[in-house]
Amino acid sequence: MKRLLLIHGAEVIALLLLSAIPLVVNNAYALGLLTLLAIYGILLIGLDVTVGYLGQINLAQAAFLGLGAYASGLSVSLLGFGMISALAMSLLVGLVFGGLLAFPALRLEGPQFALATLSFSALSETILNEWEGLTGGAQGLQISRPALWGHPVTAQGFYWLCILFLVIVWLAMRNLLSSQWGRAFEALRDSPIATDAMGIGTYRHKIAAFALGSALGGLAGGLYAFNFQYLQPQSFVYELMVILLLGVVLGGRKSLWGALVGASLIALLPNLLSNRLLFQIISILGFGIVLISGGRGLIQKTVRPFQAIAPMISMGLLVVGAALVTNTEDWRKAIFALMLFSVVVGLPEGLMGFAARFLSRIFHVPPAPLPSPASLDAALPAKSADNVPLLVLKDLKRHFGGVHAVDGISITVHSGRIHGLIGPNGSGKSTAVNVISGLYTPTSGSILLHGKPLPGNMFRVARVGISRTFQNLQLFTELSAIDNVMAAMKGVYHSPLPMVLLGLARREERRAQSDALALLELVGLQRQARVCAKDLTYGAQRFLEIARALARKPELLILDEPAAGLAYPDVSNLIKIIWDIHQRGITIILIEHHMDVISELCDVVTVLDGGRVIAEGSAEDVKRDPGVIEAYLGTANKITAAGVQELSANPG
């Protein structure tokens, strides 16, 4: 109850305050700025989907604002649309063009993605500027604000309409980003490989996220057009891109409140900077914030000296500039650049992240209560028939140029068994697993699951019943333990996107939480469900990755060196966890260098060397096989009891 009152109460108070402004403010210019604040709020919520959740630098949001603005204006002037129909057209234009841009651009990462979106923005501005017959070009486009259901819309009425759209977008995005969609967006930012391996689907979620953010940009553009009632292509250029990025980063990424704070700053900041006294106050406040944040980071050793000192120098330059510069309008671009640099380096969580840490110490907002764990029978797949061929590899090969990493292996994995896969370093174990799971495509040979060929990529392989962990951890580090497991959950989420946006999928969320808690309990992490994955111990992270893989309800679970780097107590816990999973009827392929783990758990062990199978049988049999001893120890002519003992202790 306290949590609901503090969080939702703050939203209601903010809404009431924003709605009451026209009752006390009669100045048309001030009301126009506040209307722009609401429009920018919608725009930045859309931009934050790409920048905050996908972790990509999107330089096209200003272009979508412009395209949406012209779409609504032309819909009214040429097609005679009403206001709501014109705004729907703006949203549709943003959605369509965002989806079309996403298909090629989201195959890129980092600077390449930023350049692709920058190119789109430049192209959009050029088309709007040169297509004079339609857009009016540099002369601009005059727009009349259409009536709303037959009633003329005053400045006050339009402000309330923008606030209404902001509230609708706020509620819909809060529902979306707290659902499986939001977890998927964050997951693919942290580990695209694991996202596909968990059956989430990297590419489709990237496209959906970018198209959704672009649609909100288009909607904001429609409102922008009806607010100013005059458009020019020069309004949607590079300077606006920098200001929008500043708003997202300064307000706080991955935060609706951050988007609202950022919108307030970028709507009001140009006007505040034109007043020298206000500019001096803002620069001093900014310097104080980065000084406090950087000083705390240095004391707690959570940041490097550069991350603390560089923003202080940058904001210090602003303080000096505020004292010396008489006309701040001439220095706007430099001011925005210094502020953006200071925030990105020194305050990556933004003002709302900084404020949230401060307020949490005062109000102590409790986390939302979790439901009771479900039964493991509900969280895990039904037990399948025992000891029948489940996975069959036939003459499987995977070559990298002249390197034959996997060179014609044939293995049959029977259901209900723990099948060990061992071999010296470089023997082809991890490559074989990567081919099975769809990370690599085979050069030749076949992989059959239940007698049917496996599909050729990780996403589809995960969907047909194979789940895995990774030799090098691939957790969603910014998500909590329970959210890591919920992100991979299979068979729980059925609600279509409109129901998610309306908040009608919460029953599925509670069920997913219950199932996730049951899996965390299985691996001993139920008490750490709310802990961020990056803050868990190394052993706990290994166990969390197993719980997340189980969330797929797999028929076949592949564990790629799960004991690597674990201390002895954690190895003992790992053996117990794997045994408990096995008792539930899940087939396991276990790749491991710890021979004691292999000996204690595996029904069958296959040994690889040079990409080929050199032995197969029980753990005791393969340890005494001359070919295995030669592969590990290089002593073909001196097979002794000591050699077998050494192999047992250290097989790789």
Residues 339-372: tens digit of each pLDDT: 777 777 777 777 777 777 766 666 666 667 788 8
- Among 165-169, 182-186, 271-275, 385-389, name the one with the lowest average pLDDT: 271-275
156-181 mean pLDDT: 92
The residue that leads in pLDDT, 340 or 612, is 612
Confidence category of residue 52, pLDDT binned at 50, 70, 90: confident
- In this model, does residue 530 exceed pLDDT 80? yes
The residue that leads in pLDDT, 383 or 90, is 90
- In this model, does residue 377 exceed pLDDT 90? no
The most confident of 231-235, 265-269, 352-356, by mean pLDDT:
231-235
pLDDT (0 to 100) of residue 562:
92
- In this model, does residue 495 exceed pLDDT 70? yes
Three-class SS string for 228-280? HCEECHHHCCHHHHHHHHHHHHHHCCCCHHHHHHHHHHHHHHHHHHCCHHHHH
Burial of 276 from C-beta contacts in 10 A (0-12 / 13-18 / 19+): middle
pLDDT (0 to 100) of residue 619:
86
Residue type, 518: A
- In this model, does residue 68 exceed pLDDT 90? yes
In whole angstroms, give the CA distance from residue 39 to residue 33: 10
The residue that leads in pLDDT, 204 or 485, is 485
In whole angstroms, give the CA distance from residue 247 to residue 543: 39
- In this model, does residue 652 exceed pLDDT 50? no
Question: What string of DSSP letters covers 158-182?
Answer: HHHHHHHHHHHHHHHHHHHHTSHHH
pLDDT (0 to 100) of residue 7:
63
In whole angstroms, give the CA distance from residue 588 to residue 416: 8
Query: Could you tell me what percent of the chain has a pLDDT over 70?
Result: 92
CB 101 within 8 A of CB 93: no
Nearest to 215 by CA among 37, 107, 67, 113: 67
- Whole-angstrom Cα Rg for the chain: 29
- In this model, does residue 556 exceed pLDDT 90? yes
pLDDT (0 to 100) of residue 362:
67
Confidence category of residue 144, pLDDT binned at 50, 70, 90: confident
pLDDT (0 to 100) of residue 390:
92
Confidence category of residue 2, pLDDT binned at 50, 70, 90: low
- In this model, does residue 49 exceed pLDDT 70? yes
CATH for 376-465+554-649?
A: 3.40.50.300
Number of C-alpha atoms within 13 angstroms, CB side, residue 386?
A: 7
pLDDT (0 to 100) of residue 644:
44
- In this model, does residue 452 exceed pLDDT 80? yes
- In this model, does residue 318 exceed pLDDT 70? yes
The residue that leads in pLDDT, 361 or 463, is 463
Nearest to 486 by CA among 472, 495, 476, 473: 476
Question: Tens digit of pLDDT for each residue in 580-599?
Answer: 999 888 999 999 888 889 98
Residue type, 153: V
SS3 state of residue 305: helix
CB 611 within 8 A of CB 407: yes
How many degrees, rounded to 5, is the angle at CA 166 between CA 100 and CA 201? 40
Confidence category of residue 383, pLDDT binned at 50, 70, 90: confident
- In this model, does residue 400 exceed pLDDT 80? yes
- In this model, does residue 298 exceed pLDDT 80? no
317-333 mean pLDDT: 75
222-227 mean pLDDT: 94
CB 48 within 8 A of CB 248: yes
- Centre a 10 Å sphere on the Cβ of residue 600 and count the other Cβ atoms it contains: 13
73-82 mean pLDDT: 91
**Alpha carbon of residue 195 to chain centroid:** 9
CB 427 within 8 A of CB 606: no
The most confident of 76-80, 297-301, 632-636, by mean pLDDT:
76-80
pLDDT (0 to 100) of residue 365:
63
Residue with tokens 């430099």: 334
How far, in Å, are 50, 200, 508 from residue 180 at the CA level? 16, 10, 10
Confidence category of residue 270, pLDDT binned at 50, 70, 90: confident
The residue that leads in pLDDT, 81 or 1, is 81
- In this model, does residue 483 exceed pLDDT 90? yes
- In this model, does residue 641 exceed pLDDT 60? no
470-487 mean pLDDT: 92
Question: Tens digit of pLDDT for each residue in 97-139?
Answer: 999 998 887 777 778 888 888 899 999 989 999 998 888 888 8
Reading the block at residue 10, the tokens are: 């703050």
152-180 mean pLDDT: 91
pLDDT (0 to 100) of residue 635:
54
Question: Tens digit of pLDDT for each residue in 402-442?
Answer: 888 898 999 999 998 999 999 888 888 889 999 999 889 99
CB 249 within 8 A of CB 343: yes
Query: Could you tell me what percent of the chain has a pLDDT over 90?
Result: 35
In whole angstroms, give the CA distance from residue 24 to residue 13: 17
| Ranges of each domain in the chain | 18-236, 255-365, 376-465+554-649, 476-553
In whole angstroms, give the CA distance from residue 120 to residue 441: 34
**Residues constituting the chain:** 652
CB 354 within 8 A of CB 259: no
CB 513 within 8 A of CB 482: yes
Reading the block at residue 528, the tokens are: 């750490």
Residue with tokens 């990056």: 534
In whole angstroms, give the CA distance from residue 482 to residue 517: 7
Find all residues with CB under 8 Å of 48, minimum gap 6, and list them: 213, 248, 253, 254, 255, 258, 259
Nearest to 274 by CA among 343, 330, 333, 338: 330
Task: Quote the mean pLDDT of the chain.
Answer: 85
Nearest to 418 by CA among 386, 395, 464: 386
pLDDT (0 to 100) of residue 223:
95
In whole angstroms, give the CA distance from residue 299 to residue 304: 11
pLDDT (0 to 100) of residue 217:
95
